[in-house]
Amino acid sequence: MNPQLAIVLSLLAGAVVLFILNKPRMDVVGLLALVALPLSGVISVHEAFTGFSDPNIILIAALFVIGDGLVRTGIAKKLGDWLVLRAGNHETRLIALLMLIVALLGSVMSSTGVVAIFIPVVLRIAQRTQIAPGRLMMPLSFAGLLSGMLTLVATAPNLIVDAELTRAGLAGFEFFSFTPFGVPILALGIGYMLIARRWLPRQSGTIAKTERPTLHDFANRYHLHERQFLMKVEPGSQLIGRTLGQIGLRNQYLTAISAISKKSRSGQVLSSPSANTVIETGDILLVETLDSSIDREDLQTDLGLTHHTDEAFTLAGSHEVGMAEVLIRPESDLIGRNILQSSFRSRFRTTVIGLRRNLQAFDHGFSEEKLQVGDTLLLIGTWKEIRNLHANSRDFLVLNLPAEMDEITPVQNRAPQALFSLGLMIFLMISGLVPNVIAALIGCLSMGLFRCISMESSYRSIHWQSLILIIGMLPFAIALEKTGGITLAVKAISAVTGSAGNHVLLACIFILTATIGLFVSNTATAVLMAPVAISSALQMGVSPYPFAMMVALGASTAFMTPVSSPVNILVSEPGQYRFSHFVKIGTPFAFIVLGAALVLVPWLLPFLP
């Protein structure tokens, strides 16, 4: 091993360790790699930054925008309504149709985005049909992962493998090259899930109810009555005329004001408090105690307040107040910050009044708790701001809305135009009239022309963390090739497989890809494994396509742990899953996928070039 290769492997090992620790974020690790590799002298600055000029990066960004157009026009909601209409209360039919719809939609947009869209849909279905969410959430995540096996643009690893083939001087995959493999595996997945559902949680827990949760249900779920109550500011109170910043309730009384209802000509109006909010006679304060030792009666006496009502979350019958339960997404900027640092009031114009983690609600003192992936938050704000939470889907997804609120519908329904734009993109990709990246950009421009998307929503919809991660990891492939790392890996795989044959080598490629994917993102895994698989095939004098396909299929086989993929993380809380659920159900299916791939790949992509 030469010194330069040792440097590259050391940097790669360090990146893998950081991925496993999830500190810092994956995109930051990508940037660190982007800086470290040229500083090591192994590759040039130009080679390190080639990812920024890679057409596939633009293609992936454009696909995020296309997906945003499908969300904004209400297509996913229409599919969910159709699903309920067709499946009714029949669990078998419901699971099969759910997986088909999610896989179909995921074949043309981000699987994480599709699963995020369908979690509230599935929860509504569970409430209507009295089926436990845990019976549906695992099929949802499986379908999201299997969708990556259906088309070229379904997931980033497919595009990375395609780009590696092109970089090796070979023709890349076509739009539907993955479909003959993905469709049979999807059918196996549906059949397997219909059998494996017997091991899924049967209890309905606190989420699956015959009706949508009410404000009172939220209060019980997050233990609000134990620490929050309404107080009315009486004449003579020492708070009158002072701002919240001057009063200093948090430091002096270990309390906080979550919301204020003020009198107006139209009645009580809820507002989100700030440090400059002035307290007036007759204001109704939603008070939160930050410590269990706080005595309400002493607080009332000291501040000149009176207890307003036992039903603490109607705000004197005002129809201005609303609540929403949201789930922290894997790519959220809020992860690692506490409630105060997250600035919910200024960013989202709502206040966090509850936090649940691992199905347990915090009773007190969660304002300093650092947010984690999968945390659920209870937000309070005006109905207008509750409706606007859907626009901030990058940081969290709206998990539950109270029964007091009519179902949110898109502001403008342009589903036909969005479907036309999507169809236009797919037609251009299939026909080969223009390169894929140009086809995707034409699809984006078409959606913009029909006002399915806006510039603001388009930029917000792009998952910049994924793009930076890919750009940061691509130079590793170049560095490993220049320093002989790819050749060394090929020799190691050949030594392990020996003369066992091409099928054994295919199995090794798949298992290695799926195993690395347990600890590293499937995108980074594809960046590392694609050149190794293709080089192994070329050295053996056989077609590289079956080996490249094995990498793509293996990268999407992330069923085995809740942390293997963002879609697994998303469904863990609403499905009430433990780590063991994914291991017990996902591991056998991973071997089923391996078996199917070993049959389909050599049959449809022969070894002889």
Each domain of the chain, given as residue ranges in start order, spans 213-402
Are 160 and 166 contacting, i.e. CB atoms less than 8 angstroms apart?
Answer: no
What's residue 267's pLDDT? 53
Above pLDDT 70, what percent of the chain?
88
Which of 435, 349, 418, 415 has its CA nearest to residue 385?
349
Question: Pseudo-torsion of CA 199, 202, 204, 209, nearest 10°?
Answer: 110
Do 131 and 91 form a contact (C-beta atoms < 8 A)? yes
First to last CA, the chain: 32
Exposed / middle / buried, residue 598 (Cβ in 10 Å: 0-12, 13-18, 19+): middle
* Band (184; pLDDT cuts 50, 70, 90): very high
CATH architecture of 213-402: 2-Layer Sandwich (3.30)
Strand order in 255-264's β-sheet?
A: 267-271, 255-264, 284-289, 228-233, 305-307
Average pLDDT over residues 497-518: 84
Q: In this predicted model, which residue has the larger pLDDT, 190 or 66?
A: 190
Q: Which of 369 and 128 is assigned the larger pLDDT?
A: 369
Give the pLDDT band of residue 195 (cuts 50, 70, 90): very high
The model's pTM is: 0.65
pLDDT at 77: 65
- The pLDDT assigned to 255 comes to 80
Pick from 234-243, 281-290, 419-428 the range whose average pLDDT is largest.
Answer: 419-428
The residue among 517, 506, 567, 572 whose CA lies nearest residue 207 is: 572
Cα–Cα dist 520/534, whole Å: 20
**Of 101, 110, 104, 98, which is closest to residue 69 (Cα–Cα)?**
110
